[in-house]
Structure 1
Amino acid sequence: MFDWSILKPRLCLLCDQEINQKISWMSLLMQEQETPVCADCFTKFDPLRGELCQICSRVLSAEFRRGSLCLDCHRWEQDPDWQGFLTENRSLFHYNDYMKETIAKFKYRGDYAIAEVFSPLIKDALLTLAFDSVAVIPLSRERLLERGFNQAEALAITAGQTCIYPLARIHTEKQSKKSRRDRINLPQVFQITDPELVAGKKILLIDDIYTTGSTLRHAAKALKLAGATEIRSLTLAR
């Protein structure tokens, strides 16, 4: 039976304006997937391009690099307490003002559907990463009740991934309220719920933003010490 709903106007998930999309007989017959975001909104995102840090995806500059690493990752890897835990973080976009606004709408104002905007890009990125299981950066019970859903889990699920849940988060003050130095020097904020979920496996962590890398490295360290062989991460923004 033909699905006449594809003829209905679609509204952009970000600006609520109608998405102008050309309709052809081929698109009607094939019932092609329509984009959930208009071109004007999508072009406001700034993809990461150029030479990137091999660990965190930061765009490398002459004054802020050590070989193939940015200065931050070089410092992490020089610290014997942190070196080698996070193999690679893949980020898709710069954390520019529009991305900041979009993520705030997504996780602080509870607009779960925004995850669909990024699902095709996340699916493509997943094809280039080696992993056995996908885990998400967990929220504390208090944050989950406050927001209603875990934004990292939403990104993973809308991209078609089945997640494992080997990590639990110890409730702490919001990361957004902490300085860079405070984030880097945090005590361990994760505990392992079930080591058997990760033992001998390559784990891919999914989260929304890579800032200092502290959160992902804490999670990677907990997973590695629980027996995981390799930890990578995928984030929307850097």
Structure 2
Amino acid sequence: MNKIETLCLLCSQPLQSAISWKLLLTKQFQPTICDRCLARFEYSSTATALYQYNDAMKDYLHQYKFLQDVALAKVFRQELHARLKHEKATIIPIPMHRLKQRERTFSHMEELLKAANIPFLQLLEKTTIETQSSRNREQRIQAAPLFHLIEGAQVRHKEYLLFDDIKATGTTLRHATEVLLNAGAENVKSFTLING
């Protein structure tokens, strides 16, 4: 059995992980954060999210999304893979506006799914560059449609799972769900990394 030493992506402390047959055969990912950092995250009590929003998650999101640390897409890959690997519905990550994605250099939702080896399809486009976090609760609820279907997308009689990073008021997911249902989707459910 070989030991590989890497560093925790959050605190830079050495991680020692052993490569074993079990790891290889069960498709376990190598750990990317230490046990101490992992313990700072609080699991969600709902079936529609992995974690609760807390200070550790606030720090993670800031580093990942706003400081553009794409390596952090790997932090929750094992949990996401375990939760989504048997999903029968087509997974659609909530998209960013094209200009925002160019500015941020990557789609944080797509990178989370790629890191977890979860297949997805992008059928939606964001209509506004403004983020939901820049609006108060009332503005979010009264927002104009946030998405439209990508030209040529066929969604009739299919099931979808929308995937987003955080659910606060649920406005983003509600808007995306309406677009898909209005286009003929059979069923739309949602799953988020974080329950706000």
Give the TM-score, by structure 1 length.
0.74
Q: 1:92 Cα shift?
A: 0.9
Which whole-Å deviations, capped at 9, do the CAs of 1:37-60 have from their partners, x for residues lacking one?
1000000000013xx4xxxx6xxx
**1:30–1:122 CA distance, 2 compared to 1 (3 A):** closer
**For the residues of structure 2 that align with 1:164 and 1:95, how far apart are their CA atoms?**
27
Match of 1:42?
Answer: 38
**1:220–1:119 CA distance, 2 compared to 1 (3 A):** same
Match of 1:98?
Answer: 56
- Structure 1's unaligned 5+ residue stretches are 58-89
Q: Secondary structure at the match of 1:207?
A: strand
Q: Secondary structure at the match of 1:224?
A: helix
**For the residues of structure 2 that align with 1:28 and 1:189, how far apart are their CA atoms?**
46
Q: Secondary structure at the match of 1:205?
A: strand
Match of 2:134?
Answer: 177
Residue 145 (str. 1) matches residue 102 (str. 2): yes
Q: 1:134 Cα shift?
A: 1.2
> Residues 142 and 171 of structure 1 are in contact (CA less than 8 Å); yes or no, is this contact kept in structure 2?
no
Equivalent position amino acid for 2:72 in 1:
I
> Residues 156 and 206 of structure 1 are in contact (CA less than 8 Å); yes or no, is this contact kept in structure 2?
no
Match of 1:68?
Answer: none
Runs of 4 or more off by more than 4 Å in structure 1? 27-33, 127-130
**For the residues of structure 2 that align with 1:174 and 1:43, how far apart are their CA atoms?**
30
Q: 1:161 Cα shift?
A: 2.1
Match of 2:67?
Answer: 109
**1:208–1:8 CA distance, 2 compared to 1 (3 A):** same
The percent identity for this pair of structures is: 31
**1:140–1:156 CA distance, 2 compared to 1 (3 A):** same
**1:195–1:219 CA distance, 2 compared to 1 (3 A):** farther
More strand by percentage: 2
**For the residues of structure 1 that align with 2:20 and 2:176, how far apart are their CA atoms?**
46
Task: After TM superposition, list the pairs within 5 Å mapping 1:159-170 onto structure 2.
Answer: 159-170=116-127
Match of 1:61?
Answer: none
Q: 1:7 Cα shift?
A: 3.0
Match of 2:80?
Answer: 122
**1:30–1:48 CA distance, 2 compared to 1 (3 A):** closer
**For the residues of structure 2 that align with 1:7 and 1:95, how far apart are their CA atoms?**
34
**1:195–1:44 CA distance, 2 compared to 1 (3 A):** same
Which of the two has higher C-alpha Rg? 1
**For the residues of structure 1 that align with 2:53 and 2:7, how far apart are their CA atoms?**
24
Q: CA RMSD in A?
A: 2.1
The number of residues matched between the two structures is 191
Q: Secondary structure at the match of 1:135?
A: strand
**For the residues of structure 2 that align with 1:176 and 1:196, how far apart are their CA atoms?**
28
Equivalent position amino acid for 1:181 in 2:
E
Match of 1:16?
Answer: 12
